[in-house]
Amino acid sequence: MHKAGSKIRAWREAQDPPLSAEEFGRRYGVPDAWASRTVYGWEAKGKIARPSAQKRLAELGICRPEDWLEASDRPSSPADPAPGEEAGRHPFYDRRTHGFVRLATSTPKVRTADVAYNTAGILEEARRADTQGVDLLLYPELSLSSYAIDDLHMQAALLDAVDRHLSEIVAASADLSPVLVVGAPLRRNGRIYNCAVVIAGGAVLGVVPKSYLPNYREFYEKRWFARGHECVGLTIDAGGAEVPFGVDLIFAARDLPGFVFGVEICEDFWSPIQPGTRAALAGATILLNLSASNITIGKSDERHMLSRASSSRSVCAYAYSASGYGESTTDLAWDGQGMIYELGDLLVESVRFDREPELCIADIDTQRILNDRMRMGTFNDAAEADGRPEDWYRRITFAQRGEVGNTGLVRPIRRFPFVPNRAHKLDEDCYEAFNIQVDGLTRRIEATGAQCLVLGISGGLDSTHALLIAAKALDKLGRPRSDIRGYTMPGFATSERTKGNAWRLMEAFGITAEEIDIRPAARQMLEDMDHPFAASEKGEGEPVYDTTFENVQAGLRTDYLFRLAGHHSGFVIGTGDLSELALGWCTYGVGDQMSHYAVNAGVPKTLIQYLIRWAERTNQFDPSVDAVLEDILATEISPELVPADAEGEIQSTQSIIGPYELNDFFLHHVVRWGHKPSHVAFLAWHAWKDVAEGLWPIGFPEEGKNAYDLRAIAGWLNNFLKRFFAFSQFKRSALPNGPKVSAGGALSPRGDWRAPSDAVAEVWLAELRENVPIEDL
């Protein structure tokens, strides 16, 4: 805990009345930047504020910039990390155990052509990064000399100063944990190269020259620099030693698998063929771009586009750092933009046009990158087509340094990875998800020539969402909604609330609605089977609510729907969702696992909940429909197959198979990325241990926000692994047709997931037991 955090809390508590973290942020912070979780992170989690926030807090007289680097002298408070769980020494708590690399971009202090001043700025940022556990630190292009100095690049006095001060940086790096990637002009054989110098542990590891030199519009780099695109297998004098030089270098940590990075410089990633792409094909999981890049209107968007595309196309993390305040403004201006992308996802971005130095930090999941490359055959085919760069690239190794143990996780983690959460495209993403289902069903209706759609309406989430899709499909085809035949089929545990909602929903949509009481048929079947429940109904024993009792009801409902579809020349729309298929929470064959078209099979429960809220919020249907949707969303998720107990407690799905919000989190990371269970548990713990941290979907209701400790997460993950790997595949292998909706994956045996039905889960269960510090799993 740093001194700044304790000062902020003390200041808040000293106000009259004391200010909550939320009120403090709202009253004194930058709008939309100091949320309560931000303030809480400063006070209790040891997070370092951005320079702009540090400056604001200093102006308010609350704390000074140096307080962020000094330890607090106050005792631990209940809001601080507990010494047992969070500060544990078990390898599980160390991000490096799971392949995370802490990457940062830096916009240091710069003064035009003042090499000594620039060196001091570079080292100041390096020391600050060291205190924050950074593993890899990226500076802008020509950060040692400064970029916009024109013909001064060819002055021997300046180049000599670069050589001297580079040695100073190299010497200082012996006491610093980050690998430093610094921009500098270096001489070799009578030429000057625009270079990235990679420094670690008191030595220069290697030097990478710029391949493509811009010489158009405001750029004149060919006037000063030689191209480096054909420099392969060479060496150069740098930092007092002869070191590897060329575009054929990647750098790898010996003791952290996955920590492998390559370098390109500014214009390189504006070129049609990026040098960094080849470095990725050679094995680099992280690409770094040292950039100067003056700012013009719209250029920030262009950088984002290229960085995002680079991280996606090269299946890697991509960090970009542009020159900032202090460069010459003779004819240009500089905004100091830094950003880090991973597989197309923006992890963090700097504050632009800031006069103060800034670190932009994120933890990179190298295992996620490597797992995706294993799945993407095209990436490996490209490496083969390019002559297998890994065979001729020079791999420069270094020892990973820095603090071992729980250093937290600096990374946005979505609690609901299947749920759209881009603020500027929220409606568009929800519309797309919704209409993927609508379009799939519309095409199936046209292909079959069905006279009607048959749908069981329970008053629960899944059948409600299926009805919304069916109604939109018929609207799109210009057919009356009365062509939907909806049936509510009460059983032994159906509540008046869900049955009432089913009728309200059907009436609001104007579909053909009927009710079939399945209890007489279920009693007859149970009696024919000599089931104990039938005897108990006659007063001849205790009621038994076993799997047979449940499946008789589930099977009868499906049986009725299929016969009704044949009777009315229609087809049955399946209502079961992706989460239920993952967990095997469905009755096989003549049951809710089967239908003519499984419209919800690609949609997990958490997304269904969100899409129903979206349909209501955006007035996709009539107000009469919206009123019912509100009540359905507020209803406990239950199959309603077992009657309530003596205390009135109903059968709760989530108490049996686990919270859907956790199960969907597990499903996404296991199916989409193939993560090990301990890796999934690590991510889930950081996502769910504190409601004030992590990313909630936009508009998520406050009353629905939950937190889970590691024991709960590991316990439910253990349950998920058993059900997913050892219990449920035979149901997925016989899955009806249905559209894939999310890039997170689907479970159709004709699509994303193919697996044997008789597999066992021991490998995954053992990995969880051995690597997560929870006993009795």
SS (H, E, C) 265-276: EHHHHCCCCCHH
Gap between the Cα atoms of 122 and 144, Å rounded: 8
63 given a catalytic annotation = no
Considering the candidates 3, 47, 109, 210, report the single residue annotated as catalytic: 210
Are the CB atoms for 419 and 612 separated by under 8 Å? no
* Residue 595 structure tokens: 């239908």
Gap between the Cα atoms of 552 and 537, Å rounded: 16
* Residue 161 structure tokens: 């100063």
Residue 7: name the closest of 91, 66, 93 by CA.
Answer: 66
Residue 506: name the closest of 472, 458, 461 by CA.
Answer: 458
Gap between the Cα atoms of 743 and 732, Å rounded: 18
Q: How many CB atoms lie within 10 A of CB 545?
A: 16
Instruction: Assign 61 to helix, strand or coil.
Output: coil
Most distant CA pair in the chain: distance in Å?
A: 104
Instruction: Assign 374 to helix, strand or coil.
Output: helix
For the stretch 662-675, what's the b/e string if a residue is b when 16 or more beta carbons lie within 10 angstroms of its beta carbon? bbbbbbbbbbbbeb
Considering the candidates 63, 195, 231, 266, report the single residue annotated as catalytic: 266
Considering the candidates 43, 141, 616, 661, report the single residue annotated as catalytic: 141
Gap between the Cα atoms of 281 and 381, Å rounded: 10
630 given a catalytic annotation = no
689 given a catalytic annotation = no
Give the relative orientation of helices 3-14 and 51-59 as an angle to the nearest 10 degrees: 40
Gap between the Cα atoms of 689 and 80, Å rounded: 13
Residue 88: name the closest of 404, 413, 412, 410 by CA.
Answer: 404
Gap between the Cα atoms of 698 and 610, Å rounded: 10
Gap between the Cα atoms of 582 and 250, Å rounded: 40
> Among all residues, which ones are annotated catalytic?
141, 210, 266
